Amino acid sequence: MIWVKASQVSYDNEIAELVKVFYPGEQVAALSKSGLGVEDGKIHADLPVEDMVLETGYTREHSDSLVFFAFMQRGGTLLCEHKQAVPIQSMKDIFPEAGQTRKSNRLIKNGLKGCVFDLLTRHTGKHPKWGAMTGIRPVKLVHEMRSRGLNEADTRQELLQVYKLHPEKADLLMRIADIQKPLLDHREDKKASVYIHIPFCSSRCHYCSFPSDLISRVSDKMQAYLECLGLEIAAVMEALQRKGAQVDTVYIGGGTPTVLEHSHLEKLLKLVRQEILDRFPIREYTVEAGRPDSLDYRKLLQLKEYGVNRLSINPQSMNQETLDLIGRKHTVEELVQVCRQAREIGFDCINMDVILGLPGETGEHMEHTMKEIAALHPENITVHTLAVKRASAFKESFAQYDPSRKGLAEEMADVCQKWIDKLGMAPYYLYRQKYMLDHLENTGYAVPGKECLYNIHFMDEKRDIWAFGAGASSKIYYPREDRLERIANVKNLDEYLSRIGEMIEKKQNVLRSG
């Protein structure tokens, strides 16, 4: 067990996440959240002698610098220590009379995390490519640096020296930021996106940690669910239209939205057309078809007829033995057939997901997967890195941090990159999660001009995203304060149905106050 003590700050959990990168198979926790009792920086409980404690903090020793420190001990014996001074322009920026500024918070957080990173790099011999960065939206950081006036050279230097990124990752972030720049909103824009949540699946994939219901268990409630969705969407869309806002992207996700039976799918698509497409000029309309066994020719025709112009049909792997192992109830042949049918019907933007590091797979398996996917010529490919979380069925049966798997995800990522380059795609969005193999990332690639606008805006967090359905969470952006306000719907299906008035009222209150 490794305990993290950072008594001067409130984000010790974030520092603990950084420690997990170096010790992926160990339990790591912040002492302040453990219940062991930390007061005035002193631990009021005896820890097992085999546990390690990493402590970090900072001191003000000179008028022109802060000194950050980190050390690790076990049973009272010092294992390693590190100190580093960071120059500052003005102490007023760091210790203003009325609380810390955003600039000071950023400097202190980066100083502490950088110090811990350097300590653990020296102690373990590891240098993870994402450095001291633990946030899930690293491209957003590049946009923020540029908004502060940093040029390309200064941005890259900060990524390398402050965040400790490997040059490969710094270059990747800057390339994505360049692709996104002409697609992002301007400050005066009143644009918004819509997300509609269909949290139902035909079965549960073993790696999945998203909350969803099996469609077989809730089919008798589907009519009521769609009616509640209609009430919620109509109330908000009417208000947005009155306010002069412009909705330009719609994303129906889940779950697997296309698991709905034909009549229910048509009801959903009619609802979207009536309440959104007929009100606003929509540029992009995505449906997460997800699993090919949820689709047939009739459903594809319905999607096309009602204006859907982007589909996500996700194989995850093109190796049948892997699909069987991870609980995907479809065949490789079914996926190929569905993709060909979608092309016949006229869909010209198809995304396909793959996952690096699935159980039993090697670089050779990924080579086969990418060769088969390339033959289908998708416009988007999203490369995910396996991240087994507590809510997944794999959590107890699959040792994702088995030492024999070290470097496997990176090897598979290199295979993906070779084929993605052949397809003429470029990276256009990226995000990270906890527990990812080899400390990697999830990256979306697109043929130029086919980037998913919804994905870009969702990660950028500079516009309103109105989300509807059980478990959906809207994010309302206030540009003057540069902040987000979340409006979360209840997750439980029965609660959503019985409390739909409350869900609508919360959104209307935000609309009235804005």
User: For 286-300, how does the pLDDT look when each residue is reduced to its tens digit (9 = 90+)?
Assistant: 999 988 889 999 999
CA–CA separation, 9 vs 313, rounded Å? 44
Asked if residue 158 has pLDDT above 50, the reply is yes
For residue 99, give the amino acid letter. G
The residues pairing with 290 across neighbouring beta strands, listed in sequence order, are: 313
- CB atoms < 10 A from the CB of 324, how many? 11
Domain ranges of the chain: 1-95, 200-503
313 falls in which pLDDT band (50, 70, 90)?
very high
- Mean pLDDT within 27-38: 69
Q: What is the pLDDT of residues 181-219, one digit of tens each?
A: 999 988 777 899 999 999 998 776 666 655 567 888 888
3-state secondary structure 447-473: CCCCCCHHHHHHHHCCCEEEEECCCCE
CA–CA separation, 296 vs 317, rounded Å? 20
Asked if residue 391 has pLDDT above 80, the reply is no
Percent of the chain with pLDDT over 70: 89
Strands 426-431 vs 65-74: parallel, antiparallel or unpaired:
unpaired
Mean pLDDT for the chain overall: 89
In this prediction, residue 47 carries a pLDDT of: 76
C-alpha to C-alpha distances, 383 to 333, 405, 417, nearest whole angstrom:
21, 18, 9
CA–CA separation, 57 vs 67, rounded Å? 9
Among candidates 48, 120, 172, which has minimal Cα distance to 432? 172
In this prediction, residue 185 carries a pLDDT of: 87
In this prediction, residue 43 carries a pLDDT of: 47
In this prediction, residue 48 carries a pLDDT of: 83
Asked if residue 38 has pLDDT above 50, the reply is no
In this prediction, residue 328 carries a pLDDT of: 84
Burial of 426 (0-12, 13-18, 19+ CB in 10 A): middle
CA–CA separation, 308 vs 301, rounded Å? 10
CA–CA separation, 259 vs 265, rounded Å? 8
Q: Which long-range contacts (CB under 8 A, 24 or more apart) does 220-224 make?
A: 221/493, 221/494, 221/497, 222/260, 222/261, 222/264, 223/264, 223/267, 224/497
Among candidates 363, 174, 212, 232, which has minimal Cα distance to 290? 212
Report residue 122 as tokens.
């020296």
Q: What is the pLDDT of residues 238-268, one digit of tens each?
A: 999 999 999 999 999 988 999 999 999 999 9
Residue partners of 344: CB distance under 8 A and separation at least 6: none
Among candidates 78, 80, 76, which has minimal Cα distance to 49? 76
Among candidates 339, 337, 317, which has minimal Cα distance to 326? 317
- Mean pLDDT within 274-282: 97
Q: What is the pLDDT of residues 108-126, one digit of tens each?
A: 999 999 999 999 999 999 9
In this prediction, residue 476 carries a pLDDT of: 96
- Mean pLDDT within 169-179: 98
Q: Tell the CATH superfamily of the 200-503 domain.
A: tm_1862 like domain (3.80.30.20)
CA–CA separation, 401 vs 20, rounded Å? 11
